[in-house]
Structures are given as C-alpha cells and as structure tokens.
Amino acid sequence: MNQDDLLKLENQVCFPLYVASRLITRAYQPMLDEMGITYPQYLVLLTLWENDGQTVNQISKELYLNTNTITPLLKRMEKTGIIARTRSREDERKVLITLTEQGKALKEKAYCIPEEILGKMGQTTSEVFQLKDQLHALIKQMEQIENSGK
C-alpha cells in the first residue's frame, strides 16, 4: 500500500464504523418514533432500566458522553415526563436521575426493539454478538490509549 492509498476513504477504519453506526441508528428510528423518544434518549433509558437512580456523571460515563452533552438531553427528557432530576441528599452537587412511571412503562414497548434490529441486520445472532465483542475490545483498546496520555 503506497502513501496515497493510506488516505483513501475506502481504506479508513473509521468510515465504515461511522456509516454502520448511522445506518443502525436510522433503523431504530421508526420504533423510537412510536415511543416518542430519540436514539440518545433510548440509550439513557437503557442505562436507567438496567440501574435506576444514577447520577448525571454515571450516565455520562456509561454512554461515553460529556456532561455538557447529556445535561440538555436529560432536561428534555424531564420535560416530557420520562425521568425526574433531583439533587442528591448526600451531595448537593450531584443530580440523581430516576425513571418516572412513564419512563418505566416505555420499557414494555422497547422489548421488541433488539429482536427487530437483529432481524434487519441480516446476520446470525452469534455473528452480531461476535461483532459486538470485537467492538467492545476495540473500545477498551482505544480507552487505554486515550487514558495513557495518547
């Protein structure tokens, strides 16, 4: 591979990851529209359905988002009645995020989503989970590089 080949779009690792992410997110959209939520809101809900009552920082860390990105998202979710934001009694600086009854009820509507997405991907469940494991390994590697000071 010559030097010019290194800069071809087709040879970039980042590009197919970016496109796949966008297309998969787009595949979620019709189901999320029915629920009245966006994809980032769905990700927040997934973290809260798994472990309700998290701080903004915990959710930010889980979703790899900065707090200045997640805070407006959470405020919008609070306005729609999906979550509640309250100051921690132990530490006033921390904001605790909990599901409302409406947020908990959305979980029932979401059960069909993973299976429907798997069906759209056109791969076996084991292939999808193998890819997921490879992506998690890549994420872990990239985190280590980032945390080591680059």
Q: How many CB atoms lie within 10 A of CB 10?
A: 7
**pLDDT for the residue numbered 111:** 96
| DSSP letter for each residue of the chain | --HHHHT-GGG-SHHHHHHHHHHHHHHHHHHHHHHT--HHHHHHHHHHHHS-SEEHHHHHHHHT--HHHHHHHHHHHHHTTSEEEEE-SS-TT-EEEEE-HHHHHHHHHHTTHHHHHHHHHTS-HHHHHHHHHHHHHHHHHHHHHHHTT-
Average pLDDT of the chain? Answer: 94
Are 70 and 63 in contact by the 8 Å Cβ rule? The answer is yes
**pLDDT for the residue numbered 150:** 54
The pLDDT-based confidence of 134 (bands split at 50, 70, 90) is very high
From the options 3.40.630.10, 1.10.10.10, 1.10.3720.10, 2.60.40.3120, give the CATH code of 3-111.
Answer: 1.10.10.10
Extents of the domains making up the chain: 3-111, 112-150
What does the pLDDT look like over 39-94, one tens digit per residue? 999 999 999 999 999 999 999 999 999 989 999 999 999 999 999 999 878 888 88
Q: What percent of the chain has pLDDT over 70?
A: 99
